[in-house]
Amino acid sequence: MEQSSEKIGRALLAAGLALALAAAAWQYFSPASRELMSGRDVSLALLGERSSALLVYHPFSSTVNAFTMAHPRAKPGVSGWHRAVDLAKAAGGTAAGENVFYIALSSAPDLDALWGTLNNWRAEPKRLLSAVFWVSGLRDGGATNISAFDLFSLFGEFSKLGSSNFILTEISRRAQAAEIADAEGPASAPRVEVYNASGRKGLAARAAKRLRALGFDVITEASYPTLEKHTAIIGFSSDTAAALKLRGSLGLTELKINVRSSQKSVAGAAVILGQDFKSE
């Protein structure tokens, strides 16, 4: 009897280990989950007939850059993946060959509905369940290139967010601004992002105002999701010119620059203002 119990125990242990290894392998070989595990940005294109949106999720800051763009109806035969790549390029992001995820919609993306779900699902859990079943249906219909496991992973990440975590940008306006800048000559203003992790109200806005006066193109000024003791400078390219200029302009010349070239961003650098940051 004891031997039989031991055999059952060993069998259950082996089955549990096999399931754990299978889940780990599934997570590793699922593209979006692998990106999240590595702390890299994940881009999800919501493709409508005449307008689309690109959601770029930044795990390090728990923020989402939401780029929207109106466009003509897609030509017959153009795949969702190619449309997603073109949208990402228009937003200044991923290059062809990198992972691009998409969901094809029958109408224009409704970001207000997404934000409403994220803001209210805790009080009304059925909102999140409805969203999961809706996206699962799209998967069954071939309207997305995201695996079921990746969908689960992304929903897990997005369930932590609310509308305040989203930074909305219209690509058409950005393109017009870029055309004007090209007509006037080479752009010299580094694009940067400013996050307030100090707990002091208005610090990001004051720092952004100061940086704009010094010639920076501050595309983001927002609160950081957590309090940080120490200020950090992040460069998004092996070319650290923007990060170096940002560091010097804030009087942080002794601060180490963290280069995250694998983390795609339309900005050249970002500063996370910690509790040790001394504003003038």
Q: How far apart are CA 205 and CA 46, in angstroms?
A: 31
**Burial environment of residue 181 by CB neighbours within 10 A (0 to 12, 13 to 18, 19 or more):** middle
Where do the structural domains in the chain lie, given as residue ranges? Answer: 32-168, 188-273
pLDDT for the residue 5:
58
Q: How many CB atoms lie within 10 A of CB 199?
A: 13
Mean pLDDT of all residues belonging to the chain: 75
Among 126-140, 175-189, 201-215, the least confident range: 175-189
pLDDT for the residue 27:
44
Tens of pLDDT, residue by residue over 187-224, are 568 889 999 999 999 999 999 999 998 999 998 888 88
Q: How far apart are CA 234 and CA 59, in angstroms?
A: 14
Beta-ladder partners of 192: 218, 269
**The residue count for the chain:** 280
* 65 close to 270: Cβ distance less than 8 angstroms: no
The first and second tokens of residue 147, run together, are: 């695996």
Q: Which CATH architecture has domain 188-273?
A: 2-Layer Sandwich (3.30)
In the chain, count H helices and then E strands.
9, 10
pLDDT for the residue 23:
41
Is 75 or 175 the better-scoring residue by pLDDT? 75
Is pTM, for the whole model, over 0.75?
no
